[in-house]
Amino acid sequence: MDFSSKLLENAVYEMSQLPGIGKRTALRLVLHLLKQPERQTENLSNALTKLRTMVQFCKKCHNISDTVLCEICSNPKRDASLVCVVEDIRDVMAIENTGQYRGLYHVLGGKISPIEGMGPQDLTIYSLINKVKEGEVQELILALSSTMEGDTTNFYIFKQLEGTGVKTSTIARGIAVGDELEYADEVTLGRSILNRIPFEGSFSNK
Amino acid sequence: MDFSSKLLENAVYEMSQLPGIGKRTALRLVLHLLKQPERQTENLSNALTKLRTMVQFCKKCHNISDTVLCEICSNPKRDASLVCVVEDIRDVMAIENTGQYRGLYHVLGGKISPIEGMGPQDLTIYSLINKVKEGEVQELILALSSTMEGDTTNFYIFKQLEGTGVKTSTIARGIAVGDELEYADEVTLGRSILNRIPFEGSFSNK
C-alpha cells in the first residue's frame, strides 16, 4: 500500500500491529479517527498509555486491578479455600458473569506451550504452588481450555501439588446447554456419557 | 461487562468507539497491548496523536498529505486536465494501485446524504467547481460508488457544472473480470450489455 503521507503510514502501521487488524482495517480505523473530533483520538491515546504504564496486578490472584489486592481477593464474603485457576482475566470475567462462583481466582497469564516458548517460569504457577503450600486453599478448580497446552499445564500443576493434600478438580466437559447431540463431537459426547451425573443433581442452580 | 480495573475499563471503552470494534474485541486488543513491551503502546498512541493533530490535506485535491500540495498534484508528469472525483482517500490509493491512471484526483470527503446530515457544503464540492471554472480541467471522471447517495452526488456535481463546457464521464460499470455471468445481478448485467464496447478495444491495457 502506498500512502500519501508518512504520518498516515505510520499510524496505519502501528494500528496493524494489533492482532486481527490488517492494513486495510487499520486504514479504515485511522481514517475514522480523522473524521472525529480531535478529542476522541486524544482520549484513546491517553487511555491506552495510562493503562500500559500504570497497570497493576493483584498480588494474590494476578488479575488486573487498580489496588494491591483486587476486589475479589479483598472481599471477605468470598470463599478463600476455593481457588479457580484460569488462563486469562477474560476467563475471570466470564466466570464472574455466571454468578455461580463464590471462591477466588488465580490467573496464570497463559498456558505452558513449548512451541510459543512459554514455560512454567513465564506463568504465575510458582506463586500458585506457594499459595497452596501456605495452607489456606483446600480445593483448586483447574479451568483451563481443553487443548494440548491446557492439559499439559493442568498436569504440570497437578504434579507440582502432589503431597500437599489439596483437592484438585476440573470443570465439567459435556454438551452445551441448548446444543443438539447429533452435532456434538465424539470426544465431548463420549466424555459427557462417562462423566454422567445423577438426574436430581442436574437442576441445582443455587 | 464488569471490569476489575477502571483503567482497563476506560481503555476498552475508548477502543470500542472505533467502527466495527465491539467490547469483546476491544478487550482482546487491549490485553494484547498489555502483554507487549510498553514501547508498542507508546508508538501507537504517539502515531495516532501525531496524525490527528498534524494532519494536512492537499490544497488542490484534498488528499491527506504531509506537504501543502500532495505528491500527485505536484508531479509535473501527471495530466492536470483530467480529474478523477472520488469519495475517500482509500479510493485514490485503489486507483493508484492499478497503475492505469495518470491524471489528478479530487477527494470529496464523502457523499451527499440527507439521512446522515451530509450536504454539499460538508464536502469539497465548491472547491471542485472553482477548480473547473479556473479552466485547466478538461475532463472530470466521476468515480463515486453507485449507490443512491453516489448517484445524487454525481448529479449534483453535473448540474453545478452545466455551462462550464467541461467533459464529464463516469467509470464503466459491468461484470468484474473473472466473475461468472450467472451470479451477476440484473442491473449490472443489463448495464454491461447496454454499454458494450468494441471487442478490439477490450484488451487495451497500456
CA distances, B67 to each of A188, B70, B83, B124 (Å): 61, 6, 20, 19
Predicted local distance difference test score (pLDDT) of residue B187: 87
User: For the residues B173-186, what does the mean pLDDT come to?
Assistant: 86
Indicate the SS3 state at residue B20: coil
Would the CB atoms of B44 and A48 count as touching at under 8 Å? Answer: yes
Best probe of the B interface among A3, A45, A108, A111, by most B CBs < 10 A, is A45
Q: Supply A118's cell numbers.
A: 512459554
Q: Supply B51's cell numbers.
A: 496524525
User: For the residues A40-64, what does the mean pLDDT come to?
Assistant: 94
DSSP 8-class letter at B118: B
- Taking only the tens place, the pLDDT of each residue in A98-155 is 888 999 999 999 999 999 899 999 999 999 999 999 888 999 999 998 889 999 999 9
Q: Supply A23's cell numbers.
A: 492494513
* Res A201 pLDDT > 70: no
CA distance A125 to A106: 9
User: What b/e readout covers A139-152, taking b as 16+ CB neighbours within 10 angstroms?
Assistant: ebbbbbeeeebbbb
ipTM: 0.83
Indicate the SS3 state at residue A188: helix
Predicted local distance difference test score (pLDDT) of residue B146: 86
The model's confidence at residue B206, banded by pLDDT at 50, 70 and 90, is: very low
* Res B130 pLDDT > 60: yes
Angle between helices B6-15 and A38-54 (to 10 degrees): 140
Give the burial class of A41: count Cβ atoms within 10 A of its Cβ; 0-12 exposed, 13-18 middle, 19 or more buried: buried
Place of cell 470463599: A79
- Taking only the tens place, the pLDDT of each residue in A147-177 is 899 999 999 999 999 888 899 999 888 888 8
User: For the residues B146-163, what does the mean pLDDT come to?
Assistant: 91
* Residue A106 amino acid letter: H
The model's confidence at residue B201, banded by pLDDT at 50, 70 and 90, is: low
Could you give the domains of chain B? 6-54 (1.10.8.420), 75-171 (3.40.1360.10)
Indicate the SS3 state at residue A103: strand
Rounded CA Rg of chain A = 22
* Res A205 pLDDT > 60: no
Indicate the SS3 state at residue A100: coil
Nearest to A42 among B49, B63, B92 (CB): B49
The model's confidence at residue A203, banded by pLDDT at 50, 70 and 90, is: low
Backbone angles phi, psi at A99, to 5 degrees: 70, 10
Mean pLDDT of chain B: 90
A84 touches chain B (CB under 8 A): no
CB atoms within 10 A of CB B107: 25
Max Cα distance, chain B (Å):
68
* Residue A116 amino acid letter: E
Cβ within 8 Å of A, B 22-61: 25, 27-34, 38, 40-56, 58
Indicate the SS3 state at residue B73: coil
Contacts of B43 in chain A (CB under 8 A): 14
Predicted local distance difference test score (pLDDT) of residue A206: 44
